[in-house]
């Protein structure tokens, strides 16, 4: 298969590119600043927030391969902190990278797959796209947006033979934790004294979480399915339970559970 993955320099993107290339697929990956190149993977320098670079990346794959069988939208970033202290600029950046970056690529890829009569679009969402996470509200908002967009898109293009799958990872040990931008304002800790403790717990869960190779193995199986699922929660048992609890508990009861867990 010809596979295009966004954001392959680290974490999920790198693990997926390594595994899928090793399995014999033709893998193209976008990057901003690649340092270590994966043998057998074609690198394309492209920023998901720049329309011209997105168009050029997709065009390169088509010029060289003539098709795109699988598109995996993985590129993303996170902003942490109380929502009232998140600047408008940071909010816009969060949505532009995580949500609009996906939209830009999908608008280029769908016409190609429609003409082919087949294709599979996989979008990396998050458990935070199913459950609003305190002190990660803008990140959750960007992932909720991905969920809604993909749900609508799936209905619109199902007749063209294109599959749409969303992936909801839980906590994984990737560079995402270190790269997260935290709100920098002295007032944060005065107004939200529990924030530091909550952030400590969030970062502990992430750094001790599953390895990205675990997710890459799951993705490898998903792209081989004739009828892939609409969504896959890839997480530890407790986090999977939280997703189920979100749907069956009364909203007030679930909010209490979340407030206890996140110490808010």
Residues labelled catalytic? 139
Q: Which of 187, 179, 186, 195 is nearest to 139 (CA)?
A: 179
The helix-helix angle for 251-261 and 237-248 (nearest 10°) equals: 150
Using CA atoms, how far apart are residues 41 and 60, in angstroms rounded to an integer? Answer: 14
Q: Which residue has the tokens 């005065």?
A: 190
Are 205 and 169 contacting, i.e. CB atoms less than 8 angstroms apart?
A: no
The strand pair at 70-73 and 181-182 is best described as unpaired
Query: Can you tell me whether residue 13 is helix, strand or coil?
Result: helix
- Strands (E) located in 32-106: 42-45, 70-73, 79-80
H-state helical runs in 131-186: 137-157, 176-179
- Strands (E) located in the chain: 2-5, 26-31, 42-45, 70-73, 79-80, 119-124, 162-169, 181-182, 231-234
Using CA atoms, how far apart are residues 210 and 169, in angstroms rounded to an integer? Answer: 10
Burial of 200 (0-12, 13-18, 19+ CB in 10 A): exposed
Q: Torsion angle, CA of 206/131/231/21, rounded to 10 degrees?
A: -20
Using CA atoms, how far apart are residues 247 and 87, in angstroms rounded to an integer? Answer: 31
């Amino acid at each position: 298969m010809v596979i295009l993955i966004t954001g392959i320099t680290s974490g999920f993107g790198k693990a997926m590119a390594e595994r899928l290339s090793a399995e014999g697929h033709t893998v193209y990956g976008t990057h901003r600043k690649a340092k270590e190149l994966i043998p057998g993977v074609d690198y394309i320098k492209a920023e998901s927030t720049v329309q011209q670079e997105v168009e050029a990346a997709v065009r390169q794959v088509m010029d060289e391969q003539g098709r795109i069988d699988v598109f995996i939208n993985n590129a993303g970033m996170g902003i942490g902190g109380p929502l009232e202290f998140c600047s408008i600029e940071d909010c816009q950046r969060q949505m532009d990278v995580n949500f609009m970056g996906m939209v830009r690529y999908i608008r280029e890829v769908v016409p190609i797959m429609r003409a082919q009569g087949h294709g599979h679009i996989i979008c990396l969402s998050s458990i935070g796209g199913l459950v609003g996470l305190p002190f990660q509200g803008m990140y959750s908002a960007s992932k909720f947006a991905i969920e809604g967009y993909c749900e609508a898109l799936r209905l619109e293009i199902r007749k063209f033979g294109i599959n749409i799958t969303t992936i909801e990872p839980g906590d994984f040990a990737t560079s995402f934790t270190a790269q997260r931008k935290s709100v920098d304002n002295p007032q944060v800790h005065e107004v939200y004294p529990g924030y530091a403790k909550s952030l400590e717990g969030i970062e502990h869960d992430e750094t001790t979480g599953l390895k990205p190779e675990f997710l890459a193995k799951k993705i490898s199986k998903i792209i081989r399915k004739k009828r892939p699922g609409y969504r896959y929660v890839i997480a530890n048992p407790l986090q999977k339970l939280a997703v189920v609890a979100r749907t069956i508990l009364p909203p007030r009861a679930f909010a209490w559970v979340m407030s206890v867990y996140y110490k808010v």
